[in-house]
Amino acid sequence: MLRLRAVAAFATALLALSACGGDEKDPLKGVAAPAGPTASSTPTPTFAPAPGPATKKSDEGAKAFAEYYFETVINEAYTQGRVDKLVELSDPKCVVCRATVGDIAYFTIARQAAQGGKVAVSGLKVEQSGDLTTVKLTYGQEKLLYKNLDGSTAYSVDARSGQVLYVQLSWDAGANSWKARQIVDESIIKPKA
């Protein structure tokens, strides 16, 4: 009986979803799916592990983690179109983290590939220590383009440099790792007069 109810609920949800939007056309119809990798030509994407210092609950560990998070995890998520490591290392309370995950997932599902957009951080300094540690850093990103399968540009973001961010990190004792809890632009905290 329980199984029958579950099947009925699933069917109802499926019918409700198919009724959404009013347009019965598949927006990706006619767009060829990207060619799948072959065992011999393309290795399975992998994420670089966190460097040793980034796994320590210390000020140096927090700075190393912040650098790893931006320069490795975010860069690899953009280039590989995979967000699993980014989600794993982001606290659900981090609005900017969730937005970044959403952007990458959106363009990946739309079958668009990122070009450029490499993130770099510098001048990392711990502003506050503890289970919640705040790292101040200077953020830069190359121009980011999302390309359609035909090579045309679907979306672009201009390059940025010198943007000062405060990154709040929380220590997850169970995972023995830091997580990005919040990312805030300095201009929001300290508006210019």
36 occurs within a structural domain: no
Are the beta carbons of 167 and 180 closer than 8 angstroms?
Answer: yes
Q: How far apart are CA 172 and CA 178, in angstroms?
A: 6
pLDDT value of residue 44: 56
**Domain count within the chain:** 1
Side chain identity at residue 54, one-letter code: A
Could you tell me if residue 21 is inside a domain? no
What average pLDDT score do residues 76-97 get? 94
- 112 domain residue, yes or no: yes
CATH number of residue 96's parent domain? 3.10.450.50
More confident residue, 48 or 102: 102
pLDDT confidence tier of residue 105, bands split at 50, 70 and 90? very high
Is residue 62 assigned to a domain?
Answer: yes
Burial call 29-55: b when 16+ CB within 10 Å, e when fewer: eeeeeeeeeeeeeeeeeebeebeeebb
| Backbone torsions φ then ψ of 79, nearest 5 degrees | -75, -30
C-beta pairs of 71-75 under 8 Å, 24+ apart in sequence: 71/119, 71/120, 71/121, 72/47, 72/48, 73/47, 74/100, 74/119, 75/117, 75/118, 75/119
Residue 151 is assigned to a structural domain of this protein = yes
189 pLDDT band, cuts 50/70/90, is confident
Q: What percent of the chain has pLDDT over 70?
A: 75
**Which domain range does residue 172 map to?**
51-189
Cα separation, 122 vs 3, in Å, equals 55
Q: Is the pTM of this model over 0.95?
A: no
Q: What is the mean pLDDT of residues 167-193?
A: 89
The answer to whether residue 76 sits within a structural domain is yes
Using one digit for the tens of pLDDT, what is the confidence trace for 122-172? Answer: 999 999 998 899 999 999 999 999 999 999 999 999 999 999 999 999 999
